[in-house]
């Protein structure tokens, strides 16, 4: 009993210290503070930014009238000779990248002529992986944006107006949900995959909003009954202003988190479609198409799988960790983990009160 009372007293002291840390801060500042304290999310952001800078700076990039030449010497169209002197067991096109220092018994840190190796016809695999990562990231961003906008609007309208509007929109959403995503993606990829990666991602985004719309609808059903919404109605605000100016900012947390999860699923969807042959088509490449194209070489030249798979896993995990950090930051019921420093501060505060 004494131990329970002591534990509850210490927990109350720690809670008061945590409350003082956010005292006087706005909601945005509290969210930013919590997010910056999420170590996994911070590591994921820096890793994702590094990957984006790497893949978009390596190859030639054209944006409107501007052209960036890129720092890598090969492109996906170049056909250098296959390297025959870097492989063992009669293989060709082995990676020249070595990361083990000489003092650990390795060959030293060396980038080489073809760090990721070469494919069957001699193309530089580093250039192919960089182009594939570019296309996969573009698909992820476009699907996340299109699906996020449609899902937010549909869920907001359904949750605010309820009634017949809610029934029609949710039954249409249920119909889309019943169709497997991979089937929808296969049909879209088969008919529109040859139009380019941007059009493919746009069409996929038109069917990727269903889960988000349900979450936004549930949030709007709760928020529309709050006092600030009633005050806005009494003040004469229109329905559109109430939805987008009053309720939507209070639901932005769940929207941001859901969009990040949607983006992490988008890159896996594009990978699966490209692996099945319904995604990005030649001469363009994506990470999924690279894995599909060289699947027969898995036992003899596994590096043709290592590098595309590594980028897929890295991008998906980074987006998921960022989503977890945003979820913890926006959740008002989420309390920061009590650290050893907090317990020490609680003991110091308790001792100071006892001496006083």
Does residue 175 lie within any of the structural domains?
A: yes
Q: Percentage of the chain with pLDDT > 90?
A: 20
Per-residue HEC secondary structure of 90-148 comes to CCCCCCCCECCCHHHCCCCCECCCCCCCECCCCCEHHHHHHHHHHHHHHHHHHHHHHHH
Does residue 141 lie within any of the structural domains?
A: yes
pLDDT tens, position by position, 32-80: 888 888 899 999 999 999 999 999 988 888 776 777 788 888 888 888 8
The CATH number given to whatever domain includes residue 222 is: 1.10.3720.10
Does residue 165 lie within any of the structural domains?
A: yes
Does residue 138 lie within any of the structural domains?
A: yes
Does residue 208 lie within any of the structural domains?
A: yes
- Judge whether residue 351 has pLDDT over 80: no
- Comparison of pLDDT for 37 and 353, the residue scoring more: 37
Does residue 321 lie within any of the structural domains?
A: yes
Does residue 294 lie within any of the structural domains?
A: yes
Residue 158: which domain range?
130-330
DSSP annotation of 295: G
CA distance 334 to 268: 29
CA distance 253 to 249: 8
**Confidence tier at 268 by pLDDT (50, 70, 90):** confident
Q: What's the domain count of the chain?
A: 1
Does residue 158 lie within any of the structural domains?
A: yes
Widest CA span in the chain: 82
């Amino acid at each position: 009993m004494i131990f329970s009372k002591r534990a509850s007293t210490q927990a109350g002291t720690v809670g008061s210290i945590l409350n003082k840390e956010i005292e006087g801060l706005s909601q945005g500042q509290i969210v930013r503070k919590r997010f910056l304290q999420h170590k996994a999310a911070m590591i994921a952001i820096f890793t994702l930014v590094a990957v984006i800078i790497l893949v978009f700076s390596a190859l030639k990039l054209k944006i409107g009238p501007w052209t960036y030449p890129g720092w890598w010497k090969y492109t996906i169209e170049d056909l250098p000779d296959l390297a025959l002197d870097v492989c063992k067991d009669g293989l060709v096109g082995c990676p020249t990248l070595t990361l083990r220092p000489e003092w650990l018994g390795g060959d030293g840190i060396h980038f080489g002529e073809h760090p990721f190796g070469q494919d069957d016809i001699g193309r530089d695999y580093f250039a192919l992986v960089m182009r594939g990562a570019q296309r996969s990231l573009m698909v992820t961003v476009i699907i996340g944006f299109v699906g996020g906008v449609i899902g937010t609007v549909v869920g907001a309208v359904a949750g605010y107006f309820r009634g017949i509007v809610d029934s029609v929109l949710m039954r249409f959403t249920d119909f889309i949900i019943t169709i497997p995503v991979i089937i929808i993606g296969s049909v879209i990829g088969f008919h529109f995959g040859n139009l380019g990666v941007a059009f493919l991602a746009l069409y996929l985004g038109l069917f990727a909003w269903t889960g988000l719309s349900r979450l936004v609808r549930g949030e709007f059903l709760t928020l529309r009954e709050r006092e600030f919404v009633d005050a806005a109605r009494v003040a004469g605000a229109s329905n559109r202003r109430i939805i987008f100016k009053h309720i939507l900012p209070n639901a932005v947390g769940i929207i941001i988190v859901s969009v990040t999860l949607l983006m992490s699923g988008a890159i896996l969807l594009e990978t699966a479609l490209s692996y099945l042959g319904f995604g990005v088509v030649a001469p363009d490449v994506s990470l999924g198409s690279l894995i599909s194209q060289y699947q027969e070489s898995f036992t003899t030249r596994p590096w043709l799988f290592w590098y595309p798979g590594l980028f897929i896993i890295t991008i998906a995990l980074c987006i998921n960790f960022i989503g977890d950090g945003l979820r913890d930051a926006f959740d008002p019921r989420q309390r920061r983990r009590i650290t050893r420093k907090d317990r020490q501060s609680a003991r110091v505060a308790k001792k100071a009160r006892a001496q006083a």
